[in-house]
Amino acid sequence: MEEYQLETLYRTRRPFSDEERALIARAYDFSMAAHEGQTRKSGEPYFGHCFEAARITTFWGLDAAVVAAALLHDIVEDTPRTLAEIKQEFGAETASLVDGVTKLGHFKFRERKDEWLDEHERAENFRKMIFALSDDLRVIFIKLADRLHNMRTLGSLPPEKQKRVALETEEVYASLAYRLGMARVAGELEDLALPYLHPADYAWLLAHVPEQLDEREAYLKGVVLELEASLRENGVPLPHIDFRAKRYSSLYKKLIRYDMDISQIYDLVAVRVIVANVEDCYKTLGLIHQLWPPLPGRFKDYIALPKPNGYQSLHTTVFCVDGRITEFQVRTIEMHEAAEYGIAAHWAYEKDKDTKSYRRRRPVFADGKDVRWVQQLRAWQEAYDTKRGGFMDSLKVDFFSDRIYVVTPKGDVIDLPQGATPIDFAYQIHSEVGDEAVGARVNGGIATLDRTLKTGDLIEILRQKGKKPSENWLEFVKTSLARDRIRDALKKRDLLDRFGLKRKK
């Protein structure tokens, strides 16, 4: 097919070997044949979606198994071909990636009004489950590529579906991408979701922002000339300087806090200076502060203290030419790549090393142990644990997991300890649901109340009105919440007995 050139999938940071190209070519043919005759809502061939998802993974510098799996990612769900056929044809590694992406597709995040968990908690639990289900992070990379292409083409879906997909994208996938340090991907996903989630505000932004952006950029061109002259004079090799216009989605979040007053947004456009090494970062910062006085309290050294997701840069805000407040970001090339592509960039660097050590590392990666980025996560965790708690705590749970994530019939995700049972689940929802439990359905089948649950299980509790908990539940429940509630209920019953009172039905 003319517009889907196989060769474009070979263009990546490190050239693929003949063997790797052959794998990709076979996946390309297999996918095209399997999706033959299928079209998307837009009328384009379905294969185009698989091809574009695969192309996105090549931009991130990911390996051939990922590119092949991206080509094959919708086959099990949408065609008669099976996972077994994929395994036979492409081997266990590619098949397990396809399987992972297929499984993630079964869970959908929806808006809920009748809520007992708050919206933030619901989204957080959902993200944790997605993470826990993907023991190989490459599954999430493929899912993100899939979602990115779906969002780019969201316009052709019916409005109801647009809204649901946009919400899930913002609450779950953009946020996951951000936590993996993939800021560019997270930002693009949020930008694509914004018009569907807040159409009126988006129209306001379109009417007000572009003019401001043009004016800012014209002004900053003069600023950059001055900075370049100073760098040259002081012997800092001429770095790459560009502007980073704030994304609409992040501008929008900020504007809400500033009563939509755009003149209050100093970093509408920031000057981004990319230099050769860390020493030049600090030198450049010094020169900026010599040229223009910094605003107190606005300087941030994310090189010495990276953000929890690994982001590194120096940020400063100064009274610039004509006293106009302007933000600068200074970083090295490596920091820049990592800031854009996060863990995917680390993964790509890792892969650039000699093939043998890469091969040795790869199975380890799948286990989530001991590769560089995990070590890095641990280091960041140590640096941040005491100060921030929140974010790293949740990441720790995700990676070194002793938690499971199960789903209610309405699609809410409940966070439980490893080994938890339907009774723990029931009490987590409501003490009455726990008290009245008589049985459970797990993934549609009847299960005993002491069944050990696992991540991704769909649980429904069967109840009988007025029933009281059984003492033997205490032998298998895992959560202290369930244990306490059961003991409370039993104690109440004993008291009623002792005083000869009639038990309430």
Q: How far is the CB of 146 from Mn ion (least distance, A)?
A: 4
- What is the DSSP-derived secondary structure letter of residue 501? P
Closer of 74 and 350 to Mn ion (Cβ) = 74
Q: How far is the CB of 347 from Mn ion (least distance, A)?
A: 21
Closer of 80 and 444 to Mn ion (Cβ) = 80
> Which of the stretches 92-100, 146-154, 208-216, 251-259 binds Mn ion when contact is defined by CB under 5 A?
146-154
Q: Are 117 and 407 in contact (CB under 8 A)?
A: no
Structure-token match 């799996």, residue found: 69
3-state secondary structure of 52: helix
| 113 alpha carbon, distance to own chain's centre | 24
Q: How far is the CB of 351 from Mn ion (least distance, A)?
A: 24
The helices-and-strands tally (H runs, E runs) of the chain is 20, 10
Q: 50 vs 34, 37, 70, 86, CA distance in Å?
A: 11, 14, 6, 15
Q: How far is the CB of 180 from Mn ion (least distance, A)?
A: 19
For residue 7, which phi and psi values (nearest 5 degrees)? Answer: -60, -30
> Which of the stretches 5-13, 138-146, 167-175, 229-237 binds Mn ion when contact is defined by CB under 5 A?
138-146
Closer of 165 and 182 to Mn ion (Cβ) = 165
> Which of the stretches 68-76, 325-333, 360-368, 479-487 binds Mn ion when contact is defined by CB under 5 A?
68-76
Q: How far is the CB of 41 from Mn ion (least distance, A)?
A: 13
HSE, side-chain direction, 13 A CA sphere, residue 82: 3
Q: How far is the CB of 77 from Mn ion (least distance, A)?
A: 8
> Which of the stretches 66-74, 135-143, 248-256, 401-409 binds Mn ion when contact is defined by CB under 5 A?
66-74
By the rule CB under 5 A, 327 interacts with Mn ion? no
Judged by CB under 5 A, how many residues of this single chain contact Mn ion? Answer: 2
Tokens at 335, concatenated? 């920091």
Closer of 94 and 394 to Mn ion (Cβ) = 94
For residue 93, which phi and psi values (nearest 5 degrees)? Answer: -65, -55
| 135 included as an active-site residue | no
Q: Are 344 and 60 in contact (CB under 8 A)?
A: yes
Nearest Cα to 265, choosing from 212, 311, 219? 212
AA identity, residue 433: V
Beta-carbon neighbour count of residue 186 at 10 Å?
Answer: 25
Q: How far is the CB of 6 from Mn ion (least distance, A)?
A: 19
Tokens at 458, concatenated? 């769909």
- What is the DSSP-derived secondary structure letter of residue 456? T
Q: Are 321 and 219 in contact (CB under 8 A)?
A: yes
Tokens at 9, concatenated? 């999938």
Q: How far is the CB of 60 from Mn ion (least distance, A)?
A: 17
> Which of the stretches 70-78, 213-221, 389-397, 449-457 binds Mn ion when contact is defined by CB under 5 A?
70-78
| 78 included as an active-site residue | yes
Closer of 105 and 439 to Mn ion (Cβ) = 105
3-state secondary structure of 243: strand
Closer of 59 and 476 to Mn ion (Cβ) = 59
Nearest Cα to 201, choosing from 248, 246, 266, 156? 248
Q: Which residues of 376-386 are buried (b: 16+ CB within 10 A; e: fewer)?
A: bbeebbeebee
Name the residue whose CB lies closest to Mn ion.
146
Nearest Cα to 292, choosing from 271, 275, 261? 271
3-state secondary structure of 274: strand
Q: Please select the residue that binds Mn ion; options are 52, 63, 136, 146, rule is CB under 5 A.
A: 146
**Catalytic: which of 2, 7, 29, 77?**
77
Q: Are 463 and 433 in contact (CB under 8 A)?
A: yes
Closer of 73 and 163 to Mn ion (Cβ) = 73
**Catalytic: which of 78, 85, 99, 201?**
78
> Which of the stretches 56-64, 73-81, 130-138, 377-385 binds Mn ion when contact is defined by CB under 5 A?
73-81
Q: How far is the CB of 74 from Mn ion (least distance, A)?
A: 4
Closer of 146 and 191 to Mn ion (Cβ) = 146
Closer of 146 and 188 to Mn ion (Cβ) = 146
> Which of the stretches 72-80, 289-297, 303-311, 403-411 binds Mn ion when contact is defined by CB under 5 A?
72-80
Q: Which residues of 265-277 are buried (b: 16+ CB within 10 A; e: fewer)?
A: bbbbbbbbbbbee
Cα–Cα distance between 15 and 192 in angstroms, integer? 31
Q: How far is the CB of 40 from Mn ion (least distance, A)?
A: 10
Strands (E), 293-412: 300-301, 314-319, 325-332, 403-407
Q: Are 436 and 152 in contact (CB under 8 A)?
A: no
Closer of 146 and 190 to Mn ion (Cβ) = 146
Tokens at 432, concatenated? 């009455």
3-state secondary structure of 326: strand
Q: Please select the residue that binds Mn ion; options are 52, 63, 74, 188, rule is CB under 5 A.
A: 74
Contact positions toward Mn ion, by CB under 5 A?
74, 146
Q: Which residues are catalytic?
A: 77-78
